[in-house]
């Protein structure tokens, strides 16, 4: 075995990957630690000699050296040049790596279309990481028209090679019924396979299946154990879920302080749902001292990221006089702005609340026609206060034509959903349910 072959063998044994894509990107990015301090000088010498002679494997490995700075001074431009030479010669791993460089603008101008070109070249050669990345772009509709069937196809190819992240992504499609009929057992099998390889994402996903008894027998203790393993491994979404497990006593005795602590970890890592959960803890004084200002601060961070629940809560806090009004400045115009954002994301509580605000002219001029539209959206999702409001609209002819039959229909639905006011109104009308 020659020097070059031996070095490459050692480096691949050390770690099989190349360059990391963004942490929250469900890509095929693998992590590469090339060589050790003892071999780096020899590595760069051997790689350079062979690379200059046109050896594509040496060109790829030399490119890695420059990209990561592990056996040469870090230089993204030089790294990209050598990776391109290898990619031009058809090296599948180099093609995928060049794609990542173009996608994130590392050593080359940022260009998603160019990235996809190289991803596809690599994927067509069967490189699992590239197949997974193609699947991700089809699933997310990034640079390509969203196509769950194509995503399913590419993920399946990579998963067949036991590529853990593709197994996770494919499992998500089966769990969510995207591009394929929902199959929770299949999702469980895929997550389990990826978790056995140490995937912290898969561990988190398995935890949720065990927690809800979806695709597997319900096992709260197992759910907690897997979630804890994922969270301590650094997966931010699992940190949030672990906080929820502690808050609700899932597989572990309820511990509100621990819940707040894990929510804080996830919130600091930018998880919008965790920021909202932490805001609720401060708002209600659960596991922390109550602090409305701090709560609003976390709700704002979450809402700015598009979290519909946080937008709803923030809207109500800003617009409805109450405890918060003694600490923060209420502003109905600002409040309705957030309610609209939340309602537009199909958040039922926000739709019902927005209907009420529009009916009573809070934050905007009263508009019964639009109020009825939002009430209907929420009522169609079973929100009893919206069902009650819609019944009243039909009974009084506000925003709609009077229709006693429709009014009774919505009153009965609200009553079935536990609304005491609807029950009382039906009694007044002599239309109580048997």
Q: Model confidence at 417, in pLDDT bands (50, 70, 90)?
A: very high
Dihedral angle, C-alpha 170, 172, 178, 180, nearest 10 °? 50
Nearest by Cα to 275 from 301, 296, 244? 301
DSSP label of 398: S
Enumerate residues 6+ apart whose C-beta is below 8 A from 133.
21, 27, 28, 96, 99, 100, 119, 123
Cβ proximity of 343 and 329 under 8 Å: no
d(CA 327, CA 50): 69
At residue 41, the 3 state secondary structure works out as: helix
Question: For 216-219, which contacts have Cβ atoms below 8 Å and span 24 or more sequence positions?
Answer: 216/184, 216/185, 216/188, 219/251
Average pLDDT, the chain: 90
Cβ proximity of 356 and 350 under 8 Å: no
pLDDT at 286 exceeding the cut of 70: yes
DSSP label of 144: S
Q: For position 40, what pLDDT does the model report? A: 62
Q: For position 17, what pLDDT does the model report? A: 32
d(CA 378, CA 387): 8
d(CA 411, CA 400): 16
d(CA 383, CA 37): 63
Cβ-based burial of 31 (10 A; exposed 0-12, middle 13-18, buried ≥19): exposed
Q: For position 205, what pLDDT does the model report? A: 98
**Cα-atom radius of gyration of the chain, to the nearest Å?**
28
Enumerate residues 6+ apart whose C-beta is below 8 A from 151.
135, 136, 138, 139, 169, 173, 178, 179
Topology (CATH level 3) of domain 1-146 = 1.25.40
Q: For position 32, what pLDDT does the model report? A: 33
Nearest by Cα to 66 from 88, 34, 93, 114? 34
Q: For position 30, what pLDDT does the model report? A: 37
Can you identify the CATH homologous superfamily of domain 161-269? Tetratricopeptide repeat domain (1.25.40.10)
Cβ-based burial of 337 (10 A; exposed 0-12, middle 13-18, buried ≥19): middle
At residue 82, the 3 state secondary structure works out as: helix
Stretch 172-201: mean pLDDT: 97
Q: Model confidence at 322, in pLDDT bands (50, 70, 90)?
A: low
Give me the helices (H) in 196-347, please: 200-212, 220-232, 236-248, 256-268, 272-284, 292-304, 308-319, 332-344
Q: For position 14, what pLDDT does the model report? A: 30
Q: For 355-434, CATH number? A: 1.25.40.10
Cβ proximity of 129 and 96 under 8 Å: yes
Give span(s): CATH 1.25.40.10, the chain. 1-146, 161-269, 355-434
Stretch 364-377: mean pLDDT: 97
pLDDT at 22 exceeding the cut of 80: no
Q: What is the pLDDT of residues 105-119, one digit of tens each?
A: 999 999 999 999 999
Instruction: Give Cα separations from 297 to 275, 328, 350 (angstroms).
Output: 9, 11, 20
Residue 338, token pair as written in the block = 């957030």
Q: For position 18, what pLDDT does the model report? A: 29
């Amino acid at each position: 075995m020659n020097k070059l072959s031996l070095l490459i063998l050692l480096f691949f044994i050390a770690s099989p990957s190349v360059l990391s894509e963004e942490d929250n990107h469900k890509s095929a990015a693998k992590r590469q630690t090339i060589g050790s301090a003892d071999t780096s000088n020899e590595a760069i010498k051997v790689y350079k000699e062979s690379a200059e002679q046109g050896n594509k494997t040496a060109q790829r490995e030399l490119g890695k050296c420059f990209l990561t700075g592990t056996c040469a001074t870090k230089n993204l431009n030089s790294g990209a040049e050598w990776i391109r030479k290898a990619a031009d010669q058809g090296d599948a791993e180099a093609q995928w790596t060049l794609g990542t460089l173009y996608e994130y603008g590392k050593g080359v101008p940022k260009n998603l279309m160019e990235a996809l070109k190289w991803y596809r070249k690599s994927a067509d050669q069967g490189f699992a990481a590239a197949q997974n990345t193609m699947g991700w772009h089809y699933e997310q509709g990034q640079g390509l028209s969203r196509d769950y069937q194509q995503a399913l196809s590419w993920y399946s190819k990579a998963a067949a090679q036991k590529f853990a992240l593709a197994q996770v992504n494919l499992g998500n499609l089966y769990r969510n019924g995207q591009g394929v009929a929902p199959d929770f057992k299949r999702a469980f099998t895929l997550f389990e396979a990826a978790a056995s390889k140490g995937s912290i994402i898969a561990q988190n996903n398995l935890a949720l299946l065990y927690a809800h008894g979806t695709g597997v027998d319900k096992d709260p203790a197992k759910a907690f154990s897997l979630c804890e393993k994922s969270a301590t491994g650094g997966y931010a979404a699992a940190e949030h879920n672990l906080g929820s497990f502690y808050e609700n006593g899932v597989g572990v005795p309820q511990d509100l302080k621990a819940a707040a602590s894990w929510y804080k970890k996830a919130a600091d890592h930018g998880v919008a749902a965790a920021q909202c959960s932490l805001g609720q803890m401060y708002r209600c004084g659960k596991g922390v001292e109550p602090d409305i200002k701090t709560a609003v601060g976390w709700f704002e961070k979450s809402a700015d990221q598009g979290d519909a629940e946080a937008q709803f809560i923030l809207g109500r806090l800003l617009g409805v006089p109450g405890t918060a009004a003694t600490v923060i400045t209420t502003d109905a115009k600002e409040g309705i702005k957030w309610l609209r954002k939340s309602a537009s994301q199909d958040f039922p509580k926000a739709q019902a609340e927005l209907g009420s605000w529009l009916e009573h002219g809070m934050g905007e001029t009263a508009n019964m026609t639009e109020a009825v539209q939002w009430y209907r959206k929420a009522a169609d999702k079973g929100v009893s206060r919206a069902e009650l409001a819609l019944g009243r609209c039909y009974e009084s002819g506000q925003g709609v034509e009077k229709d006693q039959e429709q009014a009774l229909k919505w009153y009965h639905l609200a009553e079935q959903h536990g609304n005491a006011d609807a029950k009382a109104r039906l009694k007044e009308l002599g239309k109580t349910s048997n």
